[in-house]
A and B are shown apart, each in its own frame.
Chain A
Amino acid sequence: MDMNQYLEMFIEESKEHLQAINDNLLSLEQSPQDLEIINLIFRSAHTLKGMAATMGFEKMAHLTHEMENGLDLMRNNKLPVTEQVMDVLFRCVDILESQLADIIEKGTDSTIEIEDTLKKLTSVIEGKPTAEPSSPVQSDSVRAVCSFNSYEQTVIKESAANGKNVFLIRVVLDQSCVLRAARSYMVFNALENLGEIIKSEPSVEDIEEEKFDFEFKMVLVTDSDEETVKQAVLQVSEVSLAEVITIDPAKLETEQAMAEAAAAAATILPMNPVNPTAANSSEKDKPQAAGNGKQQVDAKKLSAGKSVRVDIERLDILMNLFSELVIDKTRLEQIARDSNNPELVETVEHMSRVSTDLQNIVMTIRMVPVETVFNRFPRMVRDLAKELNKKIDFEILGAETELDRTVIDEIGDPLVHILRNALDHGLETPEERIKAGKNDTGRLQLVAYHSGNHVFIEISEDGRGIDRNKILKKAIERGLVDSARAESYTNEQVFDLLFRSGFSTAEKISDVSGRGVGLDVVKSKIESLGGRVVVNSVLGEGTKFIIQLPLTLSIIQAMLVQISDEKYAIPLTSIIETANLKRNEIKSVHGQMVMDFRGRVVPLVYLDQVFSIPRSVPKDDEEENVVIVRKGDKLAALVVDSFIGQQEVVLKSLGKYLSGGIFGISGSTILGDGQVALILDCNALIH
């Protein structure tokens, strides 16, 4: 039976099950007595086992089988849910994830070592405590880690002859680093400023796709000295080790020859000189056994062929072409109706159905729910909280909020930064919290939502808050702020100092400095996406980071309204409800028209006045149609002539010329008839 056709399905389902296990393990940790959760985990593990066995992935099946054994004991109350058990289970999930990654890549059973974890698992099941073997990062001879082909050797020789330095740089990332590809990219960037990277291991493509564990190597040709290079790498946060070794071209040749001889000798199981203790590292470096090598390549090709990476720009073009098509479609429909030709009408109707479906697909291709980034955070927060001995109640809201693909790809890294900061520096230890009269469990919240032409992501905690005086003191010390003017700074300005690079490089000193580590990187990343980041903080009560991200292209649900001859779209996310007001229900307070909305006094905003909309026919004043919108907990009632209806609209910018921002307008959209309608920015309309 050809399994390849099922591979894709297997991968997708396994991913879902793994995510489910991860999520459920997290909830189990919260309520260890809940049998139902253990059952859920058991079922996922069981299904995984079955699927893996059917597909012939023996190692995966083996591991899940052992997990199942443990879980079975747990649900029969024979094994208590202890911290140790949880740790091993989490470890198993991690390994299953890397196994799956291997399968995705190669299409065959993973070669990742599972013995270690299996042993631990069985011993935990049997109730024996295990000592955690430490895994120090080993510093090997660099030469042994990298081999060069003749071309690379020539380049190295020539560069050395030209008086340049050739360094081999080994970079090891923190074990807690979540976005390894992004980190390595930053390392690459830093090094590229210094010289030319002529080689990297694994290849740049593999690194970009995160096909490495925690370390990678590269060869840099540069004018800078060893120390500069080392510092450049260490500047990137979450880099735990940077080893820089000068490559001597003369030595290289003899050593290369030796290395080759050694590699040829070790045919069966080539030694892995990099990091023998890291069980799941460098599998990709190992040459495949000659027998099944070919087969594996074929399988990989098959699974890789099912998805295509597309340049976002091409999607833009597709999108614009499609808008044209939609307009023509509307015209054709009109013509068909007028022509009374049933065949034409039928064809056009069919065409519109097809194009509606097509439109949906085209529009959604670029949109991805932030969930894809968010769903790895609960685990990260859990691990970090454990490490820091803090109690944390982590909540995610609005994970279904969709964001442009390009933005999604970039936003994870800054979020990790801020979350880590919040956990590490924002939230207090349980003892401190109790001393401060708070609940011992800190609250950490990650919220995403749409507003107009933007997506907001907020990270808030109820920790110790930021002391503005400490920041100012530090800023003055560093010469960032003039002490005479410091007092007049608004809180916003003060907190903004945290994003200065001067702060981020600050080491230790007080609880303030930690707040700034890497925040300059966060800020520049967000700004490079065209977004903004703001900090709000109340000393003793907590801190909130608000990230505002633009949507280069997005679809939102909107309510179309008409005022005189003009049509406007109001994002549904801002709307609470619509209402019809009688003249006598409108009151005046200090000249401001207001209405009573369930006991609240809500100001009326007359859009025709705000936007100076010309009227050819005077309006009937007997009744007013209003749309009640909110911004935070503030409300306003927008007065319109009539409601056209709710529909999905594609957000479009107003073009660079008008990018300065127009009061009350956040963007535009193209309606089915080809007309442009403006989208209201409710946030701006509410004072």
Chain B
Amino acid sequence: MLDKQELEQNVKENKYIVFRLLDEEYGVEVNQVRSIERMQRITRVPRTPGFVKGVINLRGVVTPIIDLKTRFGLGEENYTETTRIIIVATDEMEVGLIVDSANDVIDISTDSIEPPPEVVGGIRAAYLEGVAKLQDRLLILLNLDKVLNSEELQQLGGMEK
């Protein structure tokens, strides 16, 4: 009895926001997403790594913006009509992620998530939570805590004190 209950709890479903970088689909857990914004003018912040595009005024809160493609080394920025900024929040930290498009919310059951392979599309496995296999698509689930590691930001950018 008890085992079965536990089992059911373990395979519970989580909602994920699906977004696209180039040809691949990624997911972040919906409870980490604050909002999805259209592209807007970003104020450049000097002396930060290239993937930090700058800051925007998000309803009165100055929010840093990261270009996720540049972050993952997936090529140059190329902003179009579909480009979106996904505002995510972890550990009291709010950051906007620039993605090529964002238009889907899906349920993924935990048992369909597999540990990440060593390299996915050039992204280091450390940034990944896992890979979710759905019928005909593969969804790369991000580990936001790793992606938004600000210690690494300082090392990478060689930000001067």
Contact = CB atoms under 8 A, between A and B. Distances in A.
A665 B48 CA distance: 11
Interface in A300-351: 319-324, 327
Interface string A516-552: 0000000000000000000000000000000000000
Given A663-B160, A663-B161, A676-B55, A652 B61 contact: yes
A676 B43 contact: yes
B55 A668 contact: yes
Question: How extensive is the interface on chain A, given as a class?
Answer: 20 to 34
A657 B47 contact: no
A664 B160 CA distance: 9
B93 to A, nearest CB: 4
A612 B150 contact: no
A660 B150 contact: yes
B45 A654 contact: yes
A659 B62 contact: no
Interface in A633-661: 652-661
A282 B130 CA distance: 66
Contacts of B137: none
B64 A657 contact: yes
A678 B60 contact: no
A430 interface: no
A138 to B, nearest CB: 50
Contacts of B41: 675
Given A656-B93, A656-B150, A663-B161, A320 B59 contact: yes
A613 B43 CA distance: 12
Interface size, B (range)? 20 to 34
Contact of A676 (B56, B148, B153): B56
A674 interface: yes
Contacts of B153: 657-658, 660
A6 interface: no
Contact of B52 (A320, A656, A658, A678): A658
Contacts of B93: 655-657
B47 A611 contact: yes
A659 B63 CA distance: 11
A566 B48 CA distance: 16
B46 A612 contact: yes
A670 interface: yes
B11 interface: no
B92 interface: yes
Interface in A586-640: 610-613
Interface in B30-56: 41, 43-48, 52, 54-56
A324 B61 CA distance: 10
A234 interface: no
B134 interface: no
Nearest to B43: A676
B159 to A, nearest CB: 6
Given A657-B150, A660-B154, A324 B60 contact: yes
A322 B61 CA distance: 11
A668 B62 contact: yes
CB-based closest 4 A-B pairs: A320-B60, A611-B46, A323-B60, A663-B160
Given A653-B62, A656-B91, A675-B41, 15 more contacts: A323-B57, A613-B46, A652-B62, A655-B55, A655-B95, A656-B92, A658-B55, A660-B153, A662-B47, A663-B159, A665-B46, A668-B62, A670-B60, A676-B55, A676-B57
20 contacts: A320-B60, A320-B61, A324-B60, A653-B62, A654-B45, A655-B61, A655-B62, A656-B93, A657-B94, A662-B45, A662-B47, A662-B159, A664-B47, A665-B46, A668-B55, A668-B62, A670-B60, A674-B57, A676-B57, A676-B62
